[in-house]
Chains A and B, each alone.
Chain A
């Protein structure tokens, strides 16, 4: 999860919908170009499969099966004009690719905004103000509510030894039912975030010298952040991350950066540098980079210690003899993981009780609902993606297929007429043309989605909008060929229908 999508985010600029639309349109154009290039590169595979199938089927056609003979005829017909077949393939490949990407994105967003029944992550933010800014004392107050107001069965519980091992966490010793266990439970399931923005250059602030950091408690990186479990990276990467977290805990100034941030700042692990606060004005942070996040979803993220932020605010107060304007509002988010939805509903009710968290008032929502609320701002874009872009693309690609198939039918009108003279029924001509389209559709759609699935599932990051990485659902393996075939069906229907209606006597009258 990147900072740009967080409720209560304060430092990142809020792009206008127009700019975002432009960005997405350009992104989509880039995707179209990329998919076209990939489609062209995969042409040898496409023709390999086509010719291979023809080779095998032509050896099987002695079985006498009419369907096999007709399929061989279709495959051979596709071979007669390689340029036209290639064009149809590329069109269907690109069409399927774009739709698959949009489907994957929407599916992904659907998953992140879907409510869970167990292990429910909740976010506490300021109720009436964006960005959310809460006093740090709320951290302890919420913890206290967990202990005093929530029944035991609804409280977070510490990870078991097996769960710790699965997440790659170091073992801890505590006796069940003791205060140590409860302390460990809070360490495992509780996290605060403060947002700190700044620049390495005090006067000339640019995108390249700016840095946005989550101020948090380092231990929560491995227990609360998604995508940082041992299964999400190599053992070496996990070990290095744990070491970096240990170093963060040793010294307040130590920070961890994402790979892209490191490159942008032209820094490396071990470098020390100074940041001039942009939201925390007149506060200067001295940082030392002690580690980098593994390549992936945290490439653009940076983390620092929350107590370093507090220390700096205290230092400001000592020096200036007055509190920093943000010192009482330096906590932007509180995260907690609850055992189930019932616990969330109970806690939300308590948090909303009069007298609790009243200045400022806060709200508690599930992470999925929080993301959903944030995505509400983009709902017009998603609507346009689903109901304008996807149908438009479908129409364009169906037209391309239709035009190429119509040209093919016009060229082969005599051939179709001959088949009819020989006794082939009008429906046979229809099925033959339709079959050719469906063959290209199945192969184009299949190759595209299988390739996309293979590439994206094997760690190649594919950033879309504010999500730096997402993985496609396995269903696209099946949907891809079906999608290609559907587009081919729509595009081929009219040409196939016209092939069905070819009148042999008219064709030969024109030939003569």
Chain B
């Protein structure tokens, strides 16, 4: 069963009087617990597609259903609320708040959810434990390496137990060792926690770690638009 269904998606941007078609008649299904890599040349529309699936932008036309919710017609506030519970975002440059400690960075999205301090602390500690940074919870981003920052970013992405995790070039700013660690972690999320992961990457090695590679060219899917049959189902364990 597809957890993400993209149908007849169009997205265009205006630049002055000119309209630029970025995505055209795009259809994509992603199964629950699947790890998908989006690849393609610059300007092919992969980040735009990722943003649309993550609810950061609205399509010009077409529909996007994540879980059982049609997000393409949601208002900005509704999308914000929806993102808190359903999307975990991993950034290329980590985008941690420099003034907050690792613990507080991971805790940020939980502040928007109705839960007790104790529950919140447990959740954050579990997430940091999972990424192997329980002992760095009091460090600020400036005191962590790039790889560690990215792992904090991944912990922040999964701490709300989201429906999908989207990652935009998660290894783009990392050395090969740290990149491997980050990819291992994403794989672990898929295999152990049955997280659905959609990752944009330019790196073929990173893409090889996904179960399916979807190639985009000039706003259309060149190949790989259908879900793979091997996507396993695993129950969530991070949130009890």
Q: Which residues from chain B contact A458 at a C-beta distance below 8 Å?
A: none
Interface-lining segment among B51-59, B177-185, B208-216, B221-229 = B51-59
Return the contact of A508 from the options B83, B91, B116, B156 (Cβ within 8 A).
Answer: B91
**Which chain A residues lie closer than 8 Å to B97 at the CB level?**
73, 415, 418
A418-B95, A423-B112, A511-B93 as given contacts; A63 in contact with B80, CB under 8 Å? no
Q: List the 6 closest pairs (A to B, CB-CB), nearest first.
A: A423-B84, A76-B99, A64-B117, A505-B57, A505-B51, A422-B109
A423 partner, pick from B48, B83, B99, beta carbons under 8 A: B83
Residues of A within 8 A of B109 (CB): 422-423
Judge whether A381 is part of the interface by a CB distance below 8 angstroms: no
What are 16 pairs between A and B in contact, CB < 8 Å?
A: A62-B117, A69-B111, A79-B99, A415-B95, A418-B95, A420-B56, A420-B80, A422-B112, A424-B80, A425-B77, A425-B81, A508-B47, A508-B91, A512-B47, A512-B92, A512-B168
Query: Can you name the residue of chain A whose Cβ is closest to the Cβ of B116?
Result: A64
* A421 with B89: CB separation less than 8 A: yes
* Nearest CB in chain A: distance from B201 CB, A: 12
Contact A508 to B51, CB < 8 A, known contacts A64-B116, A80-B99:
yes
Does residue B132 face the partner (Cβ distance < 8 Å to A)?
A: no
B232 interface residue per 8 A CB criterion: no
Q: How far is the CA of A66 from the CA of B76 in the complex (A)?
A: 22
Given A415-B95, A512-B92, 17 extra CB contacts under 8 A: A64-B117, A69-B111, A80-B98, A415-B97, A421-B83, A421-B87, A422-B84, A422-B112, A423-B81, A423-B83, A424-B112, A425-B77, A426-B80, A504-B56, A505-B51, A508-B47, A508-B91
B117 to chain A, nearest CB (A): 4
Inter-chain contacts of A512 with B (CB < 8 A): 47, 92, 168-169
Which B residues are CB-close (under 8 A) to A420?
56, 80
Closest to B47 in A: A512
Instruction: Give the nearest-CB partner of B121 in chain A.
Output: A62
Of residues 106 to 135 in B, which have CB atoms within 8 Å of A's CB atoms?
Answer: 108-109, 111-112, 116-117, 120
Which A residue sits closest to B108, measured CB to CB? A422
Pick the contact of A426 from B76, B87, B93 — CB < 8 Å? B76
Q: How far is the CA of A63 from the CA of B99 in the complex (A)?
A: 20
A77 contacts B by Cβ under 8 Å: yes
Q: Are B91 and A425 in contact (CB under 8 A)?
A: no
Question: Bound complex: CA of A421 vs CA of B86, how far in Å?
Answer: 11
A42: Cβ under 8 A from any B Cβ: no
Bound together, the chains give a CA A423 to CA B110 distance in angstroms of 10
- Interface flags, B65-102, vs A, CB<8A=1, else 0: 00000000000110011011101010111010111100
We find that the number of chain A residues with CB closer than 8 angstroms to chain B is: 29
Contact A73 B120 (CB under 8 A): no
Contact residues of A between 47 and 71, Cβ < 8 Å to B: 62-64, 66, 69
CB of A461 to closest CB in B, whole Å: 45
Residues of A close to B51: CB separation below 8 A: 504-505, 508
- Checking A63, A418, A424 against B117 with a beta-carbon cut-off of 8 angstroms, the contacting residue is A63
Alpha-carbon distance between A131 and B108 when the two chains are bound, in angstroms:
75
Closest Cβ–Cβ distance, residue A145 to chain B (whole Å): 77
Proximity string of chain A (486-512) to chain B, C-beta cutoff 8 Å, 1 when within and 0 when not: 000000000000000001110011011
Size of chain B's interface in residues, with CB distance under 8 A? 33
Q: Which of A393-445 contact B (CB under 8 A)?
A: 414-415, 417-426
Q: Is the CB of A419 within 8 A of B56?
A: no
Q: How far is the CA of A77 from the CA of B104 in the complex (A)?
A: 14
- Give chain B nearest CB distance to A485 CB in angstroms: 23
Knowing A423-B84, A505-B56, A512-B168, the reply to whether A73 touches B112 (Cβ < 8 A) is no
**Complex-state Cα separation, A508 to B99, whole angstroms:** 20
User: For B93, what are the chain A residues with a Cβ–Cβ distance below 8 Å?
Assistant: 511
Which residues of the other chain, B, contact A503 by a CB distance below 8 angstroms?
Answer: 57
Chain B: minimal CB distance from A361 (Å) = 76
State the CA gap A415–B98 with chains docked (Å).
Answer: 9
CB distance from B90 to the nearest CB of A (A): 10
Tell me the minimal C-beta distance from A463 to chain B in angstroms: 45
**Is there contact, CB below 8 Å, between A508 and B168?**
yes
Contacts of B112 in A (CB 8 A): 422-424
User: Least Cβ distance of B55 to chain A in Å?
Assistant: 9
* Chain B proximity of A505: nearest CB distance (Å): 4
- Tell whether A64 pairs with B89 under 8 Å between CB atoms, given A421-B56, A422-B84, A512-B47: no
Instruction: Select A422's contact among B47, B83, B92, B120, beta carbons within 8 Å.
Output: B83
Q: CB-CB < 8 A to A69: which residues of B?
A: 111
B156 to chain A, nearest CB (A): 8
| A64–B116 alpha-carbon span in the complex (Å) | 7
Contacts of B89 in A (CB 8 A): 421-422
Flag if A419 contacts B76 (CB, 8 Å). Answer: no
Scan A28-47; emit 1 where CB is below 8 A from any B CB, else 0.
00000000000000000000
Cα A418 to Cα B57 in complex, Å, equals 14
Which residues of chain A are near B95, meaning CB under 8 Å? 414-415, 417-418
On chain A, the residues within 8 Å of B54 by CB distance are 421
Bound together, the chains give a CA A425 to CA B93 distance in angstroms of 22
